[in-house]
Structure formats: C-alpha cells, structure tokens
Structure 1
Amino acid sequence: IGTREITLSYARAGHYVGEMALLSDRPRSATVRAAVDCEAIRIDGERFKALMVESDSARSAVERTFRERVAANEKMSQHESASDVLEFLLSQGVSEATDILVIDESLCTGCDNCEAACAATHDGIARLDREAGPSFANVHLPTSCRHCEHPYCMVDCPPDAIKRSANGEVYIEDSCIGCGNCEKNCPYNVIQMAALRLRRPNFLAWLLFGQDRFEAVGANVPEQAVKCDMCIGIDGGPACVRSCPTGAAARISPDRLINLSSAST
C-alpha cells in the first residue's frame, strides 16, 4: 500500500496461489514469498484456463476461493494492524510449527500457574518459560516447543531418542545421552539440559494435602534434554492450558492462529 509492503494472507501446504491474475486477466496484485522451505508445482497458465473450461466443479471451487481472497485482501489492506500481527507470526517461524503455545496478554494475570502445572507434571522441571519469548500487540509466544513439522532437534541425535507420536507430539525418550545437540540445533531455544529429579514422597505433605515433593538427587546426576511433550498420554491435554484460570493460554495450530489473527479485524 503506497510504499509500504503489507502481508495479506498465508497459504498453507496444499493450497495454490496466482489464480486471481489468471481468472481476471489482470496484472498480479501481490507477490508470494516462501516462509519456510517448501516444494511448489508450477502450472502453465493456458493449461490452467483449459482445466477451468473442462471442469465445472474445479472452476466453481477456484472462483469461490477467488472471491474469498479478494474480500480478505481488501479487508487486510484496510486494517494494517492485522497485517502487522500476521507478519509478526510468520517472522517468528509459526508456519514451521504444528502446534504452538500462545498467551493472550490481555487476559494473562501473570500468575504462572502454567509453569507450575508444567513442572508438577514433569518431575519438577517446567518445560516452558512464560515470560520469555516474543510478543506483539496482545499476542505472546512463550518459550515452549512448537512441535515443528520438520524438527531441527531430530537432525543430529546420536541415540535417535527424539520421536514423533502418531498424533504429532515431538518427545524425547529416556535413551537421551545428554549430548546437547538438540539444544544447539533448535532455533527457538525451547530445549534445555537438566538433571532429572526423582519423585520422593513427603509423608506430611501427602497426609495433609495429598501432594508430593520433588527433590534433586545429587550434584553428579547426568543431564538430559527436556522439552514440552504436550503432556502426551495425560488425560485432558497440556497441563499449562488446563491450569490457566482466565483462558489466556491456548495450544493451537498455526493455520488456526493465523486465521484468527486475520479475522480479528
């Protein structure tokens, strides 16, 4: 707009771009830039137009997308603040994630229940840092694993201890040798090396409150890599989200997050 470049939308994997100029026979109104490494298929313009003639259903679907994009682009161009939020999310690598922890700072009270619940669920070691991480407007991305589609942490793990579950959670098995490669390779600083603790019951606390106490088990305990595992296997989902009293914390897919930021206008 004028001399300022704004981000209009985000095309996720499996979507297409460039159809607006072909359908309208007008010059392209926007450029496209890859947010992450990807593979793209180029379709010849004449072949595309022939497909529109051959298939009524394909043409109807493309024309519907065309109308939606025209309306969305017009809306975004009139609300540059929404474009700024979208640009912030993309600049923070959100498009690489499959699931990301987001905090609405307009609702967050700073109680740190999320960190406390995370620590209580993971042997006394919190896998997130609420205060750390970037913010823009009311959107805060705390330091917590994003469960990347192509995890950097998996690239150089000697014992192959980092796995992905069938549901997409990236987690670290007990076979971790503490080499620290994953911590170094993660560009989002969400992996830490920590001496794992043992759960030792405190009889008085158990008797009075039904709680356990976590105690360190000596200075020579070897460190292992720890990170958010989205509370895999625990009923109710991530403890950080369940413990938030105001609903400020949410685990959300990047597509939904980006769509919400665009719709906030």
Structure 2
Amino acid sequence: ESFIGSMEFLRAAPAQSYADAEARAGLRALVGGGVVEGTEVLVIDLDKCVHCDKCEDACARRHGHSRMNRKGMVVGNISIATACRQCQDPVCMLCSRAGIARMPSGEVYITESCIGCGICAERCPYDNISIVSLEQEVEERTTWQRFAQFFSKGAGKELGKRMLPMASMKAAAGPLNIQQPLDAFGEIRKKVAIKCDLCAGYNNQACVQACPTGAAFRAQPAQFFGSTEEILQRRAQ
C-alpha cells in the first residue's frame, strides 16, 4: 500500500484549508525536488527518529566516509534524506572517464576510473555527490614495514608506471577543485567522488540496519508517493 493511501496524506478535505495548503506544498516539493524521478530514496519517519545519527555513523564505518545526511526535504512527518536517489536518467553518468556506471540491478556507483575532477558533483541537481581527499594514516613503522611499503607503492615496477592509491586508504573531506594541473595525474587521483550506491556488494544497507527505532527505510518513490502524473493531477484538483 502506498504512503498516500496508508497515511491519507496529501488528501485533505476542502474545508481543511490549512491542511490543504500544507498538502499542496508537499506536492510541489515532491515534484520540484525531483524526488519522484528517483528509483530509490532513503526515507526517515520523523515520528520515530531520535536524531542519534547512527545511520550516518554506520555509513561512515562501512565506507570510510558518510555518503548520506539524514537531514533533507521534509514532507509531512517524513524526511527524504540527502543521499543519491538512483535517478532514472542520471546526468552524473555523463563522465568522460567512465567514472560512474550503473549495475544491471540499477545501482549507480563510482568506478575505479574516477579521478575526482568534481564534474559529476556539479551536475547532480540534488547535491548528492561529494568529493573527498584520500589520505594515508601516519604511523610509526619498523624498517621492514617501510621497506615493504616502498615496494607496495610501485618501486621495482616498470619506469614511468604510476600506481593508483591503495584501496585501504581512508577518505577525508576535501574542497572541490576542478582546476587540476594537466600534467599532475597523481595529484588529481588524490581526490575521488563518493555517493550512495545502496551498499552494493553487501547483504544489507548500513544506514537502515543501524537505525535503532526503525525510522529509516528505503522506498521506491513512484510506489510510495505516486507517479509524477498522479501528483500533478492531485495538484490540479
């Protein structure tokens, strides 16, 4: 059953002028904000949410940096969290380096080809893509550890071959700067785009799994709210 049907949301009686105005504002937000154009959104029930931020913390633990923000568009008693909506027609995928791709199952994800140029983040109309800097942990190492690290970075390989950063590096927030030196591939690759990919490759979604009250859940907008056409028809009434 849809959210509209189960909650009788956005169907205020004509006599309830305040509720009707609020409902129409909610309709405008859903259409204008492009929510119903997504294929899956992170919804938070504000009646259950205790603002503990465990959803964000779980995302950061799994991915090294949180790919979502629980604060977002509020419609009635729910919030559409700031996270990738897996758009039906994602403009972010217009990447000259194939830095973003879509799985057969629909998840849009960042590929290893990403150089962190930031163009996808600029193209996303919902600000759901971030650019982060890759940083290595600084720690004391023994002589053998330093020697091993020397080779892990590509020493002994063919001259001129550049090694990409190791996958174990942690991501830390960094400023967006698309004016990168043309001859500095290493500097460019120190940044990378991040976005929600619905925890592709895992058997659950960290944000939903970590919510202690069951406030966070995933929903398909067209089924949950109704299609764009249905919403526009209700607005016209």
TM-score tier after normalising by the smaller chain length: 0.5 to 0.7
Q: Counterparts of 1:76 and 1:94 in 2: how far apart (Å)? A: 21
Match of 1:98 among 31, 36, 39: 39
User: What residue number does 2:76 align with?
Assistant: 137
**Amino acid of the residue matched to residue 88 of structure 1?**
A
> Take 1:246 and 1:86, find their aligned partners in 2: how far apart are those partners?
27
Specify the SS of the correspondent of 1:127: coil
Q: Gaps (5+ residues) in structure 1?
A: 1-9, 11-71, 201-212
TM-score, normalization by structure 1: 0.58
Specify which of 65, 68, 92 is matched with residue 125 of structure 1.
Answer: 65
- 1:165 — aligned with what? 103
Deviations 1:13-65 (A, max 9, x none): xxxxxxxxxxxxxxxxxxxxxxxxxxxxxxxxxxxxxxxxxxxxxxxxxxxxx
1:76–1:83 contact (8 Å) kept in structure 2: no
Question: How many angstroms does 1:170 deviate by?
Answer: 0.5
Indicate the residue corresponding to 2:177 in structure 1: none
Given residue 120 of structure 1, which amino acid in structure 2 is its aligned partner?
R
Q: Number of matched residues?
A: 173
CA contact (8 A) 1:178 1:193 kept: yes
Cα distance in 2, alignment partners of residues 135 and 230 from structure 1: 21
Paired residue type of 1:193: I
Kindly provide the amino acid, as one letter, of the partner of residue 68 in structure 2. Answer: L
1:51-105, CA deviations, whole angstroms, 9 ceiling, x for partnerless residues?
Answer: xxxxxxxxxxxxxxxxxxxxx9xx5555735454333322221121000111111
For 1:200-254, what per-residue CA distance to the aligned partner results, in whole angstroms no more than 9, with x for missing partners?
Answer: 9xxxxxxxxxxxx98569x977110000010011012x11011111111111101
Displaced runs of 4 or more, over 6 A: none
AA in 1 matched with 2:73: P
Q: Distance in 2 between matches of 1:126 and 1:187?
A: 19
Q: Residues 214, 138 of structure 1: CA spacing in aligned structure 2 closer, same or farther, 3 A cutoff?
A: farther
Structure-2 separation of matches of 1:216 and 1:99: 25
Q: C-alpha offsets along residues 175-207 of structure 1, whole Å, 9 cap, x if unaligned?
A: 10111110000010010001235699xxxxxxx
The structure where strand makes up a greater share of residues is 2
Q: What is aligned with 2:195?
A: 227
The answer to whether the Cα contact below 8 Å between 1:176 and 1:224 also exists between their aligned partners in 2 is: yes
Aligned partners of 1:92, 1:140: CA distance in 2, in Å? Answer: 13
Question: What do you get for the CA RMSD once the two structures are aligned?
Answer: 3.1
Rg larger in 1 or in 2?
A: 1
Q: Of the two structures, which has the highest relative contact order with CA contacts closer than 8 Å and spacing of 6 or more?
A: 2
TM-score when normalising by structure 2: 0.64
